[in-house]
A and B are shown apart, each in its own frame.
Chain A
């Protein structure tokens, strides 16, 4: 498997809490994509972090990338009910190919 995590994981939190999702990968990549997928919809890119960036922020989102340990994380600050979704990390195969290898994802449920 491309990924250290073998199963779809689930997290359940209360609104206002912070949450971090982790993924590890086995093959070399220069960029990690983080997508969210709402029920019945296609994945939507929420943040992209490249190998020359250790951290990337976008609003309440923060992504990190550690190429030495081949791992990435996505944190959401002060989660809201609208953040309920499935979150995937994906690595890009080759340079500038757009060919993605997805992890199994994390189901995040944010309760009011």
Chain B
């Protein structure tokens, strides 16, 4: 069964610290995405990737970096975490012409 696994599921970080969120897929999908969701709102696209070793900026990339070292793995990096980055982060994968399949999310609290 297709799976998108995010780790950690929750994290508390300090302001100014570095945070790395990881996403692993067993779907063999080319496309991978990172979204954030703020309370009471829909998801917004941060970064995405169509192929390993390549990433693209989404709608709200500022303050985030992404890394796609392999087909299966896609990371979201916050070099200097800020309070405003407290949110739930979702990874998604997608096969060509299909709808994205989302992971269970990572709840990030920046204090």
A contact residues vs B (CB 8 Å cutoff): 8, 33, 40-45, 48, 88, 90, 96, 98-105
Contacts and interface: CB of A to CB of B under 8 A. Distances in A.
| Interface size, B (range) | 20 to 34
Interface of B: 4, 31, 33, 35, 40-45, 48, 58-59, 90, 92, 94, 96-97, 99-105
Given A44-B102, A96-B96, A103 B90 contact: no
Name the prevailing secondary structure of the A interface residues. Answer: loop
26 contacts: A8-B41, A33-B99, A41-B104, A41-B105, A42-B4, A42-B90, A42-B92, A42-B102, A43-B102, A88-B42, A90-B43, A96-B96, A96-B97, A98-B48, A98-B92, A98-B94, A98-B100, A99-B33, A99-B45, A100-B35, A100-B100, A102-B43, A104-B40, A105-B40, A105-B41, A105-B42
A8 B4 CA distance: 27
Given A41-B104, A45-B99, A48-B99, A102 B94 contact: no
A57 B35 CA distance: 28
B51 to A, nearest CB: 13
Nearest to A3: B42
Nearest to B9: A40
A98 B40 CA distance: 23
Nearest to B59: A101
